[in-house]
């Protein structure tokens, strides 16, 4: 019984909960752009929202494990997953999928209806990504774009949880989406290099992907994220331009990791062990945090180019 319980716990992928850190920039931007006064209630709502979206994400992971089991059997690492190994009660896992979603959405509702709706969209994207006949993960390019949309959805959850009104700036949402696209394309590139000729048996989209196509996709995503991020910075918070080199360094380092043999980018949940990457992330996050609250009026004069 304990072994069966541990297997059900494993398919919820609690080690992936750290991804809810992508909600925090949304919370920070809501405070800055909507000029909100930080309170204990904000922290409580943000805590409920992040706990709720963690459960919603686990619901999506359970769905992924159930539907992907036949394909995971062709993957050298994922073939050891509990569902593939027959260690899961299948009806119980389907119940687990629904219960986790219900609990997560209830927690998000306690942080506000917009938070719950954003979390519902996240759950819906999990269904689109995994369930036939759509199953966007099998569609080249669409798989990257549909999975990375979780990035702006998480940003919206943080934004609304802290009390942000309306929608976050579109330039910020699209830039965040493009960054997610880069991370997903880098993961696909690392997986393709690792799986080789057996990649299409694991996932149909790999029949179309090549290293050069994935490189081009990463370039597209990075350039798009940079351009849209520049639009956001110029319109809303010029000080953040000073954090740009650190953010660019994080993305460049991530790309280098994706090029390694048996790249750790294939399993992003383990990247917290990479001290250099984490150090760069902390540097970039620290700069963004400081520059979000420290005003530098001289920057406006420096970047103010007058028409001749």
pLDDT at 305: 55
pLDDT at 78: 86
Q: What is the phi/psi pair of residue 171, to 5°? A: -60, -35
pLDDT at 308: 39
- Cβ pair 119, 104 in contact under 8 A: yes
- Can you state the angle between helices 150-161 and 113-130, rounded to 10 degrees? 170
Q: pLDDT tens digits for 77-108?
A: 888 889 989 999 999 999 999 999 999 999 99
DSSP for 134-175 reads T-GGGSTTHHHHHHHTHHHHHHHHHHHHTT--SPPPHHHHHH
pLDDT at 215: 96
- Cβ pair 244, 283 in contact under 8 A: no
- Cβ pair 158, 49 in contact under 8 A: yes
pLDDT at 202: 85
Give, for all 308 residues of the chain, the pLDDT tens digit.
568 889 999 999 999 999 999 999 999 999 999 888 888 889 999 999 999 999 999 999 999 999 998 888 888 888 888 998 999 999 999 999 999 999 999 999 999 999 999 999 999 999 999 999 999 999 999 999 999 999 999 999 999 999 988 899 999 999 999 999 999 999 999 999 998 888 888 888 999 999 999 999 999 999 999 999 999 999 999 999 999 999 999 999 999 999 999 999 998 888 989 999 999 999 999 999 999 989 998 998 888 755 43
| Whole-model pTM over 0.85 | yes
Q: In the chain, what are the domain boundaries?
A: 1-167, 169-308
Residues 6 or more apart whose Cβ sits within 8 Å of residue 270: 15, 264
pLDDT at 3: 82
Dmax over Cα atoms in the chain, in whole Å?
A: 77
Give the Cα-Cα-Cα angle 222, 148, 15 (nearest 5 degrees).
115
Distance CA 113, CA 301 (A): 41
Cis peptide before 133 (omega within 30 of 0): yes
pLDDT at 165: 84
CB atoms within 10 A of CB 253: 16
Residues 6 or more apart whose Cβ sits within 8 Å of residue 120: 105
- SS3 (DSSP) at 132: coil
CATH architecture of the domain with range 1-167: Orthogonal Bundle (1.10)
**How is residue 33 written in tokens?**
């752009």
């Amino acid at each position: 019984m304990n072994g069966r319980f541990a297997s059900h716990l494993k398919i919820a992928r609690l080690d992936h909960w750290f991804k809810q850190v992508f909600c925090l920039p949304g919370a920070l931007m809501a405070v800055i752009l909507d000029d909100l006064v930080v309170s204990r209630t904000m922290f409580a709502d943000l805590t409920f929202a992040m706990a709720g979206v963690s459960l919603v994400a686990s619901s999506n992971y359970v769905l992924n494990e159930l539907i992907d089991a036949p394909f995971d059997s062709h993957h050298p690492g994922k073939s050891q997953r509990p569902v593939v190994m027959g260690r899961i009660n299948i009806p119980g896992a389907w119940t687990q999928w629904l219960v986790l979603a219900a609990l997560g959405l209830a927690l998000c509702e306690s942080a506000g209806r917009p938070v719950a709706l954003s979390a519902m969209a996240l759950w819906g994207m999990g269904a689109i990504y995994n369930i036939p006949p759509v199953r966007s993960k099998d569609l080249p390019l669409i798989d990257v774009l549909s999975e990375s949309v979780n990035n702006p959805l998480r940003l919206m959850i943080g934004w609304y949880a802290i009390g942000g009104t309306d929608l976050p700036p579109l330039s910020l949402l699209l830039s965040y989406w493009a960054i997610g696209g880069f991370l997903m394309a880098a993961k696909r590139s690392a997986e393709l290099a690792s799986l080789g000729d057996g990649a299409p048996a694991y996932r149909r989209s790999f029949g179309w992907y090549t290293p050069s196509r994935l490189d081009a996709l990463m370039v597209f995503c990075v350039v798009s994220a940079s351009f849209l991020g520049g639009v956001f910075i110029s319109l809303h918070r010029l000080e953040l331009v000073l954090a740009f080199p650190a953010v660019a360094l994080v993305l460049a380092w991530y790309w280098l990791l994706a090029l390694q043999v048996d790249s750790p980018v294939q399993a992003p949940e383990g990247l917290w062990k990479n001290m250099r990457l984490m150090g760069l992330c902390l540097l970039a996050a620290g700069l963004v945090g400081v520059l979000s609250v420290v005003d530098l009026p001289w920057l406006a004069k420096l970047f103010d180019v007058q028409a001749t």
